[in-house]
Amino acid sequence: MGGLMFLLALSLSSVVIIQTSEGQICLPKKHASLFVFGDSLFDIGNNNYINTTTPFQANYPPYGITLFKYPSGRFSDGRMIPDVIAELAKLPLLPPYLHPGNPDFTYGVNFASGGSGALLQTAQGSVIDLHTQVKYFKNVKKILREKIGNEEVEALLKRSVYFLNVGSNDYGGLLNVANSTVSLLPVDKQQFVGFVIGNLTNAIKEIYEQGGRKFGFLNVGPIGCSPVIRAQNNGSKCFDEISAVARLHNIQLSKMILKLKKQLNGFKYSVHDFYASLSPVIKNPSKYGFKGGSGGCCGSGPLRGFDACGGNKGIKEYELCDNPNDYIFFDARHFTDKASQYFAHLIWDANYTLNKPYNLNTLFQLSSQ
């Protein structure tokens, strides 16, 4: 009996018990939530609940076939990167913010929306842009304040991590496709990147003003090597002109974050070099346990790179590979469950080469004071 009482006392010492109008809520003393912002690489189902069109949704088969066994709204056969990150952080599977079942936001929430970007004009009217995602976060703070009180909310938000992936769709809007030939629109690339970075900066500052202190970022990957762009370019090699814009973004992103570090007291961050981690996997997939690096598992046309997975996006006929685990990409743009696991683990605990100034695991452990 004495041993049982000791274990009970020990377990109670590791939690904070908060009295609310609805009863008691127990939270781990150093519990840190995870708040996720971004596009379809992070969307876990928010686009299921907005007035949009099928190309911006993944709520139909064969999406979800590997893990969930049903189409949850994730653009994958299984998990997305934030799902795996939550698991590594010992958090429950986060809910999409717009889920109608009154989800619990205590451990965090996912605001990401497939097709969205930092710019309001990116797929405007069909997605949840970054600015609106931040507005939703402010609403979550109000809900949490009512649930656990202002003092605990402020402490929780300072301990928590804000995980962002934005930009690819903004730059995808620069593509001009005609007769299976891809080119870029004639715009000032540096200036355009500046607009994207400016909007992202404003979003970060808004989250900071609400109490956020620890931020995790993915820079933009080699988007010119995605199956959808290669297929539109006659299935040829990577379209480097658009990947060059991604590299411009990544340079400006690093400079912007260093400025914020100097301006914002207590601002801490981790930047994963997604360009550097994805590029070698595409070039040499077998080295990383994949058989297909350039094409998708589900789609049509060259490399299965036409965005036809599920037959609901204008092209009814599509092919589905036998084993998604053989592939990096599940469809024309998005990762398989296996690939999401691979990249999430790099984001979580890879060294300084890919994560600067430290990885996401370390960011979770850092004090927010």
At 25-74, the pLDDT tens digits run: 445 557 799 999 999 999 999 999 999 998 899 999 999 999 999 999 99
pLDDT at 29: 56
| Averaged pLDDT, 292-310 | 92
Residue 307 lies in a domain: no
Residue 221 lies in a domain: yes
- In the chain, how many H helices and how many E strands? 11, 14
Under DSSP, is residue 33 helix (H, G, I), strand (E, B) or coil?
coil
Residue 102 lies in a domain: yes
pLDDT at 9: 34
Q: Which two tokens stand for residue 132?
A: 């609106």
Q: Are 107 and 33 in contact (CB under 8 A)?
A: yes
| Averaged pLDDT, 316-336 | 96
Residue 325 lies in a domain: no
Residue 129 lies in a domain: yes
Q: What is the C-alpha to C-alpha distance for residues 232 and 250, in angstroms, rounded to an integer? A: 25
| Averaged pLDDT, 169-183 | 88
Q: What is the C-alpha to C-alpha distance for residues 78 and 99, in angstroms, rounded to an integer? A: 18
Q: What is the pLDDT of residues 340-355, one digit of tens each?
A: 999 999 999 999 999 9
Residue 247 lies in a domain: yes
Number of structural domains (the chain) is 1
CATH number (domain holding residue 45) = 3.40.50
Whether the predicted pLDDT of 132 surpasses 50: yes
Residue 297 lies in a domain: no
Q: Which domain holds residue 98?
A: 34-286+334-365
pLDDT at 23: 41
Q: What is the C-alpha to C-alpha distance for residues 164 and 173, in angstroms, rounded to an integer? A: 20
Block residue for tokens 């300084």: 352
Whether the predicted pLDDT of 178 surpasses 90: no
Q: What is the pLDDT of residues 188-230, one digit of tens each?
A: 999 999 999 999 999 999 999 999 999 999 999 999 999 999 9
Which residues are known catalytic residues?
40, 331, 334
Residue 18 lies in a domain: no
Q: What is the C-alpha to C-alpha distance for residues 211 and 323, in angstroms, rounded to an integer? A: 44
pLDDT at 368: 56
The residues near 312 (Cβ < 8 Å, ≥ 6 apart) are: 54, 60
Q: What is the pTM of this model?
A: 0.91
